[in-house]
Chain A
Amino acid sequence: GNSVTQMEGPVTLSEEAFLTINCTYTATGYPSLFWYVQYPGEGLQLLLKATKADDKGSNKGFEATYRKETTSFHLEKGSVQVSDSAVYFCALSDTSGGSNYKLTFGKGTLLTVNP
């Protein structure tokens, strides 16, 4: 079956530090990959996505590259801000079979950025 493993948190950084949140996956087909962000007290929002190998998703200074050879989709940002404090979820949508609309989520990584 499909699964997503992301680094356990919490992660605490100072403002302007470099961020990496690791995400690896297992899938039976050719998945699309996503990063979602959940700000305190809110629902999840799509942060970025990639649909095929070597694609790079980017948004709001965050980037992630779809690496098929290492089955990874690590999230990076060069300089974090206090406003980036949130829970980040890696997810995949497996395009094989008839259930390619369902997402499989990682457990989430809590990021806290201090001023």
Chain B
Amino acid sequence: NAGVTQTPKFRVLKTGQSMTLLCAQDMNHEYMYWYRQDPGMGLRLIHYSVGEGTTAKGEVPDGYNVSRLKKQNFLLGLESAAPSQTSVYFCASSYSSGGPYEQYFGPGTRLTVT
């Protein structure tokens, strides 16, 4: 049982390049989330998904797109990277019933945009 995994762990991009971050979970969770973590800002929700084939915007969605084609995977895309997107990105997942909705986090992806 690996829990929540993220690939890659580190990445350096040049401004304007694109990339996709992959999140996978093996806990059969319905809900999945993408956050970014910046110094002094805590965690901010980028996008989330309440089930396969559905996605929704979070607090800071601009510049990002997501897809949830399979229940166990949640992809975060940057179409044209900007230096402001330099951050640590965390994926999380949770159950959809029974509450409270404890979220399980991946180890993070550290992205630098130059």
User: What B residues does A36 contact at CB under 8 A?
Assistant: 105
A92 — nearest CB in chain B belongs to which residue? B100
Whether B42 and A107, one on each chain, are in contact in the complex, defined by CB atoms closer than 8 angstroms, is yes
Q: Is there a chain B Cβ closer than 8 Å to A49's Cβ?
A: yes
Chain A residues, CB < 8 A from B90: 43-44
Q: Is A95 an interface residue (CB 8 A)?
A: yes
Residues of chain B with a CB closer than 8 A to A101's CB: 31, 50, 94, 96, 101
**Of A32, A44, A102, which is within 8 A of B48 by CB?**
A102
Asked if A73 is an interface residue, CB under 8 A from chain B, the answer is no
Q: How far is the CB of A4 from chain B (nearest CB, A)?
A: 8
- Given contacts A43-B4, A43-B108, A89-B43, A103 and B103 within 8 Å (CB-CB): yes
Measured as residues with beta carbon below 8 angstroms from the partner, the interface class of chain B is 20 to 34
Q: B102 an interface residue at 8 Å Cβ cutoff?
A: yes
Question: Least Cβ distance of A6 to chain B in Å?
Answer: 9
Asked if A42 lies at the interface with its beta carbon under 8 angstroms from chain B, I say yes
B24-57 contact mask (Cβ, 8 Å, vs A): 1 or 0: 0000000101000000111101001010000000
C-alpha gap A101/B107 in the complex (Å): 21
State how many angstroms separate the Cβ of B96 from the closest Cβ of chain A.
7
Contact pick for B100, options A41, A43, A44, A51, CB 8 Å: A51
A43 touches B99 (CB 8 A): no
Contact indicator per residue, chain B 87-106, by CB within 8 Å of chain A (1) or not (0): 00010101010011111111
For A44, the chain B residues whose CB sits under 8 A away are 43, 90, 92, 103, 105
A14 at the interface (CB under 8 A from B): no
- Bound-state CA distance A36–B101 (Å) is 13
Known contacts A43-B105, A43-B106, A101-B31; A49 and B42 CB within 8 A of each other: no
**How many Å from the CB of B111 to the closest CB on chain A?**
15
Chain B residues contacting A107 (CB-CB under 8 Å) are 40-42
| Nearest residue, chain A, Cβ from B103 | A103
A-B contact pairs, 18 of them (CB 8 A): A32-B99, A34-B102, A43-B90, A43-B108, A44-B43, A44-B92, A44-B103, A45-B105, A46-B103, A46-B104, A49-B102, A51-B100, A93-B99, A93-B101, A95-B100, A100-B101, A103-B101, A106-B42
